[in-house]
Amino acid sequence: MSISMSMSLSQSEMLTAPCKFRSFARATAPFRLRAFSTAITDKPSVCTADELHYVSLSNSDWKLALWRYNPSPLAPRRNHPLLLLSGVGTNAIGYDLSPESSFARYMSGQGFETWTLEVRGAGLSLPASNSKDVGQVANAMSEKMEAASESATATNGAVASNKELNNISSAVSEPQISAPNGVEIENAAIKGDLTRLATAWDESKLVARLSETFMFLSERVSGFLSESQSRVMFAKFLDQISKLLVDSPLYEQFNEIRGKLSTLYETKQNSGFTSQITDLSQKLVKIIEEGQLSVSPPLFDLQARFTSTIEDFQKQLDLMVKYDWDFDHYLEEDVPAAIEYIMKQSMPKDGKLLAIGHSMGGILLYSMLSRFGSEGKEPNLAAVVTLASSLDYTSSKSTLKLLLPLADPAQALNVPVVPLGAMLAAAYPLSSRPPYVFSWLNTLISAEDMMDPDLLKRLVLNNFCTIPAKLVLQLTTAFREHGLCNRNGTFFYKDHLHKSNTPILAIAGDQDLICPPEAVEETMKLIPEHLVTYKVFGEPGGPHYAHYDLVGGRLAVEQVYPSIIEFLTCHDK
């Protein structure tokens, strides 16, 4: 049995008289697809849906993956398609772990044409590629995902190495300048073979590489960072180079060039900017070369460390450009594009669909309703179900508060991405086997005995991906006064949620440490009572529901799913 509470009507009342709360406003404008869209004929093996579709964005190179599950011909005919939205840093696999444990399959088995969206950066969604090779790229991505999972378990259950654990630690700490795998740059002088290094030294190539880095930071990256953030990154790069020359007679020469570079960067003169950058890069390389040949004192491996510093910094800049999106990109671009595509495919009579969001997926749905409400517009959502979601975590003891250090923009620049998938995969052996050093990770995902161990393993190793720090940065605003806000801090999503007319079923788990029931309740208070039903699943003596159990727990199919079906059926008129 579940602990349930309704902010308005009881469950039985909801089934007999709720439809009066619905609005039947029809969409009058035709849906316009955003550039390219297609269904993949050669579906990748990792995609266990009936079909895999792609839809592109009008102002981005990303192609979003949509997993489609056809409705069962034996089930009642439904009037609306169903959209599933996943949590932060997760893909569609979480909704479809196995044939025996599949939220998506259950919904399609109940007659709903079910679509699961993978937002940019997640699962099989693809960066720039033309329509002709999407299938090929998708299959390559699938193979990469499967290989990563196999690699994580290739040690046949061996405990994670010290190197793996160090990578986890450095990924969430404040490194100097990090490569994508989180390995910190060596700052200490390393003695080596000067003759061997001298033969490998290519001055012209290094000058070109250094100039390219300065130009990249000045021009391309400036479109992804604010002016102040860009200055911080520029200063950090020069700081790293200066550490190579500390206590050297060349340090003063370097500072002179640094001053000129800083002045040039601040003014960003159009006339001769490139040639001046190249000239100063040439002088900087000369200093490094002189230091390499210096014998008083010798600066061993200076050239190699200088080259490494440039390469690692450029990798960091590349990551910033590659992972340049936040929550508002999902809200304003990804989800609307997916909805347009689904509408074109399904053609519901009233121009609406049903939607279920888990964790961040539910936050996206709340935010969408808030946006429509603030603009006085009717959303194209017939009804919404949120699982473990809230717009305001300030009053709760959510473990997501561990992310608050990333709320410092400078820290987000130090760690441009959070390799969530790699971190969890590396930590998994220590969470599932003696001495259970990271066993607490499991309780964040699932309560004791609520998930089959093999399914939990598949979830941890296959469901998570790398996320941008700027996405985390925006989500941390949910822990501040007024709750989650847009990227500019000018729109607070909870302030307009009460203006929505869309029925909502909000579900919480009694032992959810990520989104505790009290966090869900904070959002429920904002919604008109006649539109919201709130349910908490779990019993004092067990069973209990943690964050993912509402989707994939062993008892969810018996306790949670039927409540969702009843609610959706009621609003699928």
Q: Lay out the sheet containing 3-5: strands in order across.
A: 3-5, 532-537, 504-509, 381-387, 353-358, 82-85, 114-118, 63-69, 51-56, 37-40
**DSSP classification of residue 101:** B
The pLDDT assigned to 35 comes to 42
CA gap 562, 557 in Å, rounded: 7
The pLDDT assigned to 28 comes to 33
The pLDDT assigned to 567 comes to 98
Helix runs in 463-555, H state only: 469-475, 517-524, 549-552
Count the Cβ atoms, other than its own, within 10 Å of residue 310: 20
CA gap 484, 252 in Å, rounded: 47
478 and 366 Cβ atoms separated by less than 8 Å: no
512 and 387 Cβ atoms separated by less than 8 Å: no
DSSP states along 356-418: EEETHHHHHHHHHHHHHHHTT---SEEEEEEES--S--TTS--GGGGGGGGGSHHHHHHS-EE
The pLDDT assigned to 442 comes to 82
Q: What are the φ/ψ torsions at residue 512 (nearest 5 degrees)?
A: -80, 110
CA gap 93, 101 in Å, rounded: 11
Q: What angle do CA 328, 112, 372 make, to 5 degrees?
A: 30
CA gap 220, 218 in Å, rounded: 6
CA gap 192, 404 in Å, rounded: 42
- Average pLDDT across each block of 10 residues of the chain; the chain has 573 residues. List them in order: 37 35 32 53 89 90 94 96 96 95 97 98 83 72 70 48 42 35 32 39 63 63 57 75 74 78 66 66 71 57 71 72 89 96 96 97 98 94 98 86 58 69 76 61 89 92 89 89 92 96 97 95 95 96 95 96 97 94
Residue 221 Cα distances to 236, 265, 353, 445, angstroms: 14, 13, 39, 36
141 and 126 Cβ atoms separated by less than 8 Å: yes
User: Is 504 in a helix, a strand, or coil?
Assistant: strand
The pLDDT assigned to 109 comes to 97
